[in-house]
Amino acid sequence: MRLGARWAEDGPQAGYFPFYIALLVCISAAVNFAMALTNRADAGRDFVEREKLRLVAAVLVPAAIYVGAIGWTGIYVASAVFIAFFMRWLGKYAWWKVAAVSVGTMVAFFLIFEMWFKVPLPKGPLEELLGLG
Amino acid sequence: MDELQALAHGFAVALSFKNLALMLVGIVLGVIIGVLPGLGGANGVAILLPLTFSMAQSPGGTTSAIILLSCIYWGALFGGAITSILFNIPGEPWSVATTFDGYPLAQQGRAGNALTAAFTSSFVGALVAVIVITFLSPVVAKFALEFGPPEFFAVYLLTFCAFVGMSKEPPFKTLASMMLGFALAAVGTDPVTGALRLTFGTEKLLNGFDFLVAVIGLFGIGEILLTLEEGLEFKGARARINLRVVLDTWKELPRYWLTSLRASAVGCFMGIVPGGATPASFMSYGVARRFSPNGERFGTGQLEGVVAPETAAHAAGTSALLPMLTLGVPGSPTAAVLLGGLLIWGLQPGPLLFVEQKDFVWGLIASMYLGNIAGLVVVLTCVPAFAAILRIPFSVIAPVIVVICAIGSYTVHNSIFDVWMMVVFGVAGYAFKKLAYPLAPLVLAIVLGDRAEASFRQAMLVSQGDLTVFFENGLVGTMTGLALALLFWPLAAWALGRMRSR
């Protein structure tokens, strides 16, 4: 309310729209909730089954760790490890295939982004070691 | 015939070697994006947008950049049909309706015919829409030059109300998703007074949320999570297209001229009024089923049932660029991303574009003709190659797509915080999809929220807080009235239904 959610002399103040938007969100949420309660067709249907949720979490958790890792290892190393982890754990590929795909993809991305389009991406210790950072 | 002269000039711009090469690259990339799960027109263009920053700085570079990005869009529109027909997995939301008849055809061993019909009718739909753009957009732009803040707000209002009135999801779900988009758009600096809003005291939210990051997360990560639920394998029909199949199908297609005419009309209408390609394809499928002489056999593998949604989806997807170019109001999420690109390159979308940036506008329109011809040739000749992409196991392709999305959202502002936001938006997108909330209104609200609010408040400043300014003259009054009518349309339809059932 500090922003002034009212209608001033010359039209709405800064907080006017956010306030009414929030109000509309609440109203439509309430209506949708009521509709979901009265709609019997969906009753007894789970949001996700346990097995499927496991699969979804299997991507989401590593993805979150991956994003956290970008900050200190740079995007290339983190991505390579992420792809390798995925292929090994979910795909059960042989190690040489895992290494070839993960490193190969990152080298290709490096060439495309840094060399061709000149877009710098976050780099970490490894790139500095190689003298690329 | 000013338009034809301008168009000829546009062809001269688009027909340079560099632009033709970019067109081809764009189409191929676009089809790949359209085939891959989790990458679609909207987020594919959003991810590649930062790559054009340096390109756009050279003279004439903005035209090349928009040609590249728009061709990715055309490619994605073509690519969606491949997965729908061969794998029964719609690669894009607008090709869901194509699965109804496309997949049965593939099961009967007529995948080649279905694909040819889909690509050809896509091309026809796009062509009709481009012709509409060529002749209608200069008129609309000229008209819109006279617009003031009240008129622009009325256009925005019409856009938002059209979503509520025309989407196939329940209106309150559309409303909720749209309002969340507005709330996200309001974060950061207030466009009129510069006051800070909804930042909760953190510096990271000072600039608000970037919709490009939202698009990448909502459509990209959300889609990956959803696809994972289906399992890790894709099973599909084999595709072989040879010249004989193509010619046979082309012989059969003229029979459905009425269907494609209707579908093009539906598509152009839904594209210009921001309904977007997805509802257009469903609507066109429904219309075709009702009016076709063998409508009751739809769903069992009728070529007509492929023609109708594909024509409409392409017509809508293409004509969504008309309001984007002339009014600065995008008709679809992908058009919104292209609009974001224009802003980043330093072009102001809207009626002035047609006066100040003739090379750009007409180069783009000419490239639409050329790009769609190139697209048709590329997809007809390379279908097996594109279908092979889907045979790459998901455990390889999924992490690569996540990495691409992460790189894409990082490059928007070079900030790792954006990558986090992408993950959050991804989870939100997954939940939205599961609960059948539409995503398009949310994205458009994030894009247009600030500008709609600014034009509303400017109008209020002019009129001293008098709301009747929105009914002041015939033009703005009609638009506001139409918007309100669309907004309350679901309510009226519900009441009518009630009365009839009594």
**pLDDT digits over A54-72, tens only?**
777 777 888 888 888 877 7
Mutate: best of B407, B416, B448, partner A, most A CBs <10 A: B407
Of A18, A58, A118, the CB nearest to B183: A18
What is the spatial distance between Cα A60 and Cα B221, in angstroms, rounded to a whole number? 9
Q: Does A105 touch chain B (CB under 8 A)?
A: yes
Residue-level pLDDT at B275: 60
Flag if A119 and B50 touch (Cβ within 8 Å). Answer: yes
This complex has an ipTM of 0.77
Q: Are B354 and B53 in contact (CB under 8 A)?
A: no
CA neighbours closer than 13 Å in the CB half-sphere of residue B54: 10
Contact A15 B221 (CB under 8 A): no
pLDDT of residue B43: 80
- CB-based contact A35 B180, cutoff 8 Å: no
Question: Averaged over A68-89, what is the pLDDT?
Answer: 80
Give the best residue of A7, A67, A85 to mutate against chain B (max B CB count within 10 A): A67
Distance of CA B470 to the CA centre of its chain: 29
A94 touches chain B (CB under 8 A): no
Band of pLDDT at residue A1, cut at 50, 70 and 90: very low
Q: Cβ of B351: how many Cβ atoms within 10 Å?
A: 22
Residue B383 CA to its chain's centroid (Å): 23
- Pick the residue from chain A with its C-alpha nearest to B393: A91
Q: Name residue B189's beta-bridge partners.
A: B196
Predicted pLDDT of residue B195? 61
**Start-to-end Cα distance in chain B:** 56
Burial call B179-203: b when 16+ CB within 10 Å, e when fewer: bbbbbbbbbbbbbbeeebbbeeeee
pLDDT of residue B214: 82
Dihedrals phi, psi of B288, to nearest 5 degrees: -65, -40
Q: Tens of pLDDT along chain B (502 residues)?
A: 677 777 787 777 777 778 888 888 888 888 888 877 667 777 888 888 877 777 777 776 788 888 888 888 888 888 878 877 877 766 666 777 777 887 888 777 777 888 888 888 888 888 888 888 888 888 888 777 777 777 777 777 777 777 777 666 777 777 778 887 777 777 766 666 666 665 565 666 656 677 778 878 887 788 777 777 766 555 555 666 677 777 777 777 777 777 778 888 887 877 776 666 677 777 777 777 777 777 677 777 777 878 888 888 888 888 888 888 888 877 777 888 888 888 888 787 777 887 777 778 888 888 888 888 888 888 888 777 777 777 777 777 778 888 888 888 887 777 888 888 888 888 888 888 777 777 777 877 777 777 777 777 777 777 666 666 667 776 777 777 777 777 777 777 777 777 777 6
Structure confidence by residue, pLDDT tens digits, A110-126? 877 777 766 777 776 66
Distances (CA, A) of B311 to B32, B263, B333: 20, 6, 19
Three-class DSSP category at B189:
strand
Nearest CB to A87: which of B396, B426, B460?
B396
Alpha carbon B81 to chain centroid distance? 15
Q: What's the CA angle centered on B10, arms B371 and B122, to 5 degrees?
A: 25
Site of tokens 């059960």: A92
DSSP string, B111-153: HHHHHHHHHHHHHHHHHHHHHHHHHHHHHHHHHHTT--HHHHH
Q: Does an H or E element contain B197, and which? A: strand B196-197
Average pLDDT, chain A: 71
Residue A49 has pLDDT above 50, yes or no: yes
Are residues A119 and B170, on separate chains, in Cβ contact within 8 Å? no
Gap between the Cα atoms of B39 and B33, Å rounded = 5
Between CA B137 and CA B319 the distance in angstroms is 10
- The one-letter amino acid code at B398 reads A
| Backbone torsion region of residue B276, taken as left when φ is above 0, otherwise alpha when ψ lies between -120 and 50, otherwise beta | left
Q: What is the pLDDT of residue B272?
A: 75
Residues contacting B346, CB < 8 A, separation 6+: B56, B62
- In chain B, residues with a C-beta closer than 8 Å to the C-beta of A28 are 172-173, 175-176, 179
Backbone CA torsion sign across B224, B226, B230, B234: negative
* Adjacent-strand bridge partners of A12: A7
| Cβ-based contacts of A2 with chain B (< 8 Å) | none
Contacts with A63 from chain B: Cβ below 8 Å: 221, 402, 423, 426
The type of residue at B423 is V
What is the three-class DSSP state of B328?
Answer: coil
Structure-token pair, residue B451: 């500008």
